[in-house]
Chain A
């Protein structure tokens, strides 16, 4: 039941009914009832939502000890008309009140019950894991985005980066694989990486983010992981330095909450470790203090390099962190060997062939190389570019319905391919003096040809798709880009006009809205059968949850997709 406008915050209020009632209110309605900040109102609504999640309630009920349940039953008997077990579970969650200083305090009955309980086991000692500095986190974040742009990052079934990929990226960047994995999750939550099926690709926001000032970038990453409302409340009144103090405070404040508190604190700690809020001793860094105080820290990073040394040994060295545009270009033409404090890449015929596919000559590539190198282009590299461009004109492959067609510039080349023992596994069949065919896929054919010293160009019947047959030779070479180096990543294709939009998956619609920064009007189902309609600006979409903000106030909410019953974008009706 909505409270009256004259309601005041005192310990004598009945908080349970109050919180239960909140579930039926919108933020605006709640703000109309009591004087508080919008963020507090949002927190309260989140807390109410938490209570409403059936699965959590059942779990918490099952772990409540008998004396606590008994104490709560006593409380419940006096404060709520709902006699069911569900009510008791809610009371378990809601066995706190807002104290005079805004911090949650245990209701007296619950406190008494707890004092009679044997001590709860202390939360396990916080193991110190590997950490990054804020600057290192930003550099690694940029590198992961550039990597995802070149080769989408593979995800495993639970939506996390695969450990083998994390290990590979960790070796490349000189970073612990656990940190790589954690930071990938942070980037996704921050809306900079986007899950497409089982792959992570950069989101539209990624490039603008990489160009923003360092402090702001870092702040956005730190803000990407939103602790629950109870923990947020504690954080508001805590400023370090030791994380262990936060753990202790949280445990003291929510003694019944160890089942949800521990994983939350673990997640927070990992988040802070990977972002450099905490140092190796689990103490808050100065930048972290700024963050906790609500300020954007002034981070200074060395300016990213826009030039690279091109060496005779066909290696490219960037003496520092490459500017994203430069990094993207280098990923096109070379394989990264090391992306630590400096960056080293290796150019091979295979990587050069991948970069040159689709370009008429190597001249444009050479021009770019001249531009990025303060010391010119070494002759062996110049030779490689020119020669590879010539060789690509000699042999072309194209997909056919049943495999791949190979077209040679001379019958001699066709004959050589036909007899080459290194290509035996393709089972090439000569179909004309200059042509052969195989049942193998274009990808396989391209790899086999490259390995056998036959670089080939690719002719496609339709525009390339991500991960499709236009990829360069070798598993790690970048997608061929027809755009000049430095072009922003292409935005995902829009839903075609006149497509029956009701047939589109909801996630697809939200994904589109996310990338085009378009607000959606979403009807959300609430417990009890009621619905509300809200205008939301999608921020990120993962694990079947939508994070969105109110375009007018920027207050953010997280919703399960299952609660969204209807979506509407201006001009289109998409009833689900």
Chain B
């Protein structure tokens, strides 16, 4: 009996205690998505998207079924086998190929072409019908066509190749450092299989994967990032780790408009409009890009999907810590960037020592009687904020700071008035969206150099901010049950520490409120990543220490 339990709903459970678990996990991960990974049982899900990803990487239906049968504890449900066969037979039925200068949609099965061409949204993207097996497709429509075909259950194998782009040699300057094994594996997989997404936990070094890909490709590169701070961090990292010089790297953002062989542009600038015109789309054609890197691709704004759909002829690399999008548009990432090429669970990287182990704790505070009355009388829409910003959290924060003297601590909150209160109560500076960029960078730098041990941050620091020495995070409020935000915030403290110690992530929650309900959702996500957590009453934390302790 193997370690996998294949269920009728296409989830697959993996028993970690089984001697074959490791090998099974490796084989299963090629076509199934890891949904949750708590301590004893990991759950994967077989989706059509995952199957097509695997086929895009060269796996066959029989190989997929063989993995399931080989490791299954109980017989594989026949319905699951049928669904896998049905899904996999659809891949490759439609192909996008290049013939001379034309892009063609082709199929051996005319019936499928008829079916999909009768769909209005697909029809708009097709050019001339050349014969019963072939339609012409404009280059501009390549990405959108793949997107629409995927939505209709007919994923197209994109065999049209890439526009190579202008050569621009880049090399990694590995003096005293080298790519980690998983980073190298991610780069190799990308280079071997083409456009796609690499999923690595926060703090695992996705930027270096991007740098490694750039070096392997050796072409002019456009890097799309979430904000200006992130752009500058990329620049710093590229200058430190590659052969690029400052003149080779341009920033295209709200503050600068420099185009260079390697240009880092923000998503916001791409989507900036005057009236109905996107004013800065020209950056997409400013150079003959050979590689487009999408940083934090899970945050790709919806309009950017459409705008960058036209970049289909360029090699594309998406980098992210999680493919979970709260808007459910993972499929669009697949069709517009490419399939998932590489991922590795957080806990695996932790066990390799490349991210710090983390201890997660939820501190439950009580509302006072007066606050409880006030909360009870409120409407639903006000309750969450009221609970999230209850004054009792300040005392808890002070107690936690006292528990961790000398540590680098980030205090994270959602609400500006709460942050202002904290600044005053704790005498600690903050970085919010209102903080000018220069001042932000100054405070981040002070924190990095330990000149500033404690820093309060708003959601601006959720992502793309490198604060490697942050060891403690105290989360006082957040965006409802956002799993993405939870992952990003935890990621802030996962950089390996110089002393090899672990990080601690505190979430302070008002008991028996809607905040507690949302916190459960966030914590469930952490538990699913393998991060167990403990619940502690604030009263325990605030109790005077007993003599002798």
Contacts and interface: CB of A to CB of B under 8 A. Distances in A.
A235 interface: no
A453 B513 CA distance: 7
Contacts, number: 97
Contacts of B532: 312, 378-380
Interface in A374-388: 375, 378-380, 383
A392 B513 CA distance: 17
A223 interface: no
A415 interface: yes
Contacts of A175: 8
A319 B73 contact: yes
A416 B376 contact: yes
Interface residues of A, number: 34
Contacts of A313: 36, 38, 523-524, 527-528
Interface in B68-93: 73-75, 77-79
A4 interface: no
A420 B377 contact: yes
Given A311-B40, A319-B73, A453-B512, A174 B9 contact: yes
Contacts of A379: 532, 534-535
Given A312-B533, A415-B373, A319 B15 contact: yes
Given A341-B74, A380-B533, A421 B38 contact: no
A24 to B, nearest CB: 53
A512 interface: no
A215 B79 CA distance: 25
B369 interface: yes
Given A311-B41, A380-B534, A319 B5 contact: yes
Given A319-B13, A378-B532, A340 B7 contact: yes
B286 interface: no
Contacts of B534: 379-380, 383
B523 to A, nearest CB: 8
B372 interface: yes
A509 B13 CA distance: 48
A317 interface: yes
Interface of B is mostly: mixed
B379 A421 contact: yes
A319 B18 CA distance: 12
B369 A412 contact: yes
A411 to B, nearest CB: 10
B378 interface: yes
A311 B82 CA distance: 32
Contacts of B380: 421-422
A421 B378 contact: yes
A342 interface: yes
Nearest to B10: A174
Interface string B1-17: 10001111101010100
A252 interface: no
Interface in B337-369: 369
A375 B38 CA distance: 13
B39 interface: yes
A312 B528 CA distance: 8
Given A319-B15, A419-B377, A174 B8 contact: yes
What band does the interface of chain B fall in when counting residues whose beta carbon is under 8 Å from A?
35 or more
A454 B372 CA distance: 12
Interface string A160-177: 000000000000011100
A306 B79 CA distance: 28
Contacts of A454: 512
Interface string B533-545: 1110000000000
Given A280-B78, A312-B527, A383 B535 contact: yes
A341 B7 contact: yes
B7 A338 contact: yes
Interface in A131-187: 133, 173-175
A320 interface: yes
A320 B5 contact: yes
Nearest to B7: A340
Nearest to A375: B40
B515 to A, nearest CB: 11
Contacts of B36: 313
A133 B372 CA distance: 56
A217 B78 CA distance: 24
A546 B532 CA distance: 56
A518 to B, nearest CB: 41
A311 B39 contact: yes
Contacts of B513: 453
Contacts of B528: 313
A86 B147 CA distance: 71
Contact of B527 (A311, A340, A417, A453): A311
Interface in A183-229: none
B74 A320 contact: yes
Contacts of A380: 523, 532-535
CB-based closest 9 A-B pairs: A174-B8, A313-B527, A420-B376, A312-B527, A453-B512, A340-B7, A312-B532, A309-B40, A342-B5
19 contacts: A173-B8, A174-B8, A312-B39, A317-B41, A319-B5, A319-B73, A340-B9, A341-B7, A341-B77, A342-B5, A375-B39, A379-B535, A380-B532, A380-B534, A380-B535, A416-B373, A419-B376, A453-B513, A454-B512
Interface of B: 1, 5-9, 11, 13, 15, 36, 38-41, 73-75, 77-79, 369, 372-373, 376-380, 512-513, 516, 523-524, 527-528, 532-535
